């Protein structure tokens, strides 16, 4: 199992620049994980998710801006590539605590953080961004994603997951979410927690809990349910971009050539 908080060697700057040229035009898809201080296994969650994505042949960059993440490399605010560490085949890691704030514009948006991640890791198919709801609300202002709420099988974690969804819904307009519930395989509360959270999202926010999966921290076997959920999130993001592109084409002004 990989430790997301262990030290590795950053990608050399000249190598990063070569990768940027090689993969110019490639755009990594964003997966947003909503940090929850009442979930004790955040590093394990990121590790399992990255392994599931890499197992499907995807190149993954984990940008960990959660409150428990390590501080970034001293050069990362100037060049994110300087702080990226290769930790496993197909998986890179960026300690990013506090980094989104360096990309806040005059309107309070940090959407440029995602653009900077794409520039820093152009080979990445997936950008897995882990941050608290306040930071994600800044980062996701221009990005259509389905945030993944993190929770555990005790009340405070569920309250925090709902509060994160509420903040994101109000600040970004996002209205679809998924849930990753970190709990023992035989937890008697898991199904009830998911149903309760879904009801609250629908009843109070007019938002939808699309799906949920349970992750047992004691079981390190590949998690097929988690892999399916992440693939569904990626498919949803692709469909949203296609719809947005089609809408942009329909709105584009038409021109005509007048012949004398």
User: How high is the mean pLDDT of the chain?
Assistant: 88
Structure tokens at 64: 């960990």
Structure tokens at 11: 């990608």
- Higher pLDDT: 242 or 5? It is 242
* Mean of pLDDT values over 143-159: 95
Give the CATH number of domain 13-238; options: 3.40.50.1100, 3.40.50.300, 3.40.50.150, 3.30.460.10.
3.40.50.300
Say how many C-beta atoms besides its own lie within 10 A of residue 258's C-beta: 4
Q: How confident is the model at residue 23 (pLDDT cuts 50, 70, 90)?
A: very low
* Mean of pLDDT values over 71-93: 95
247, HSE (Cβ side, Cα atoms, 13 Å): 6
Sheet holding 60-64, edge to edge: 85-88, 91-95, 60-64, 126-131, 29-34, 148-152, 176-182, 208-215
pLDDT, tens digit, for every residue of 98-144? 999 999 999 999 999 999 999 999 999 999 999 999 999 999 998 88
In this predicted structure, the answer to whether residue 260 has a pLDDT above a threshold of 50 is no
Q: Which of 35-44, 60-69, 142-151, 231-240 has the lowest mean pLDDT?
A: 231-240
Residues 6+ positions from 7 with CB-CB distance below 8 Å: 85
Torsions phi, psi for 85 (to 5 deg) = -115, 135
- CA–CA gap between residue 255 and residue 252 (Å, rounded): 10
pLDDT of residue 246: 52
- CA–CA gap between residue 180 and residue 165 (Å, rounded): 13
- CA–CA gap between residue 198 and residue 83 (Å, rounded): 38
- CA–CA gap between residue 147 and residue 38 (Å, rounded): 18
In this predicted structure, the answer to whether residue 72 has a pLDDT above a threshold of 80 is yes
In this predicted structure, the answer to whether residue 10 has a pLDDT above a threshold of 90 is no
Query: Domain boundaries in the chain?
Result: 13-238
pLDDT of residue 244: 58
């Amino acid at each position: 199992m990989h430790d997301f908080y262990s030290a590795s060697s950053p990608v050399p700057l000249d190598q990063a620049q070569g990768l940027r040229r090689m993969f110019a035009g490639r755009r990594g898809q964003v997966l947003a994980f909503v940090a929850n201080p009442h979930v004790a296994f955040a590093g394990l969650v990121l590790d399992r998710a990255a392994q599931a994505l890499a197992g499907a042949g995807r190149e993954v960059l984990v940008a960990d801006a959660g409150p428990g993440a390590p501080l970034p490399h001293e050069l990362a605010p100037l060049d994110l590539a300087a702080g990226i560490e290769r930790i496993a085949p197909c998986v890179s890691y960026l300690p990013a605590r506090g980094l989104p704030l360096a990309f806040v514009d005059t309107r309070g948006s940090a959407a440029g953080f995602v653009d900077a991640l794409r520039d820093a890791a152009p080979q990445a198919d997936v950008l897995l961004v882990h941050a608290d709801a306040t930071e994600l609300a800044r980062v996701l202002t221009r990005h259509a994603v389905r945030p993944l709420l993190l929770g555990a099988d005790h009340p405070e974690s569920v309250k925090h997951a709902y509060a994160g969804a509420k903040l994101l819904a109000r600040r970004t307009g996002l209205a679809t979410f998924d849930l990753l519930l970190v709990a023992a395989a035989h937890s008697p509360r898991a199904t009830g927690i998911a149903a309760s959270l879904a009801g609250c999202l629908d009843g109070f926010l007019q938002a939808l809990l699309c799906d949920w999966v349970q992750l047992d921290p004691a079981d390190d076997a590949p998690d097929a349910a988690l892999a399916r959920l992440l693939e569904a999130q990626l498919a949803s993001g692709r469909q949203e971009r296609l719809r947005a592109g089609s809408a942009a084409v329909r709105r584009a002004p038409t021109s005509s050539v007048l012949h004398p």
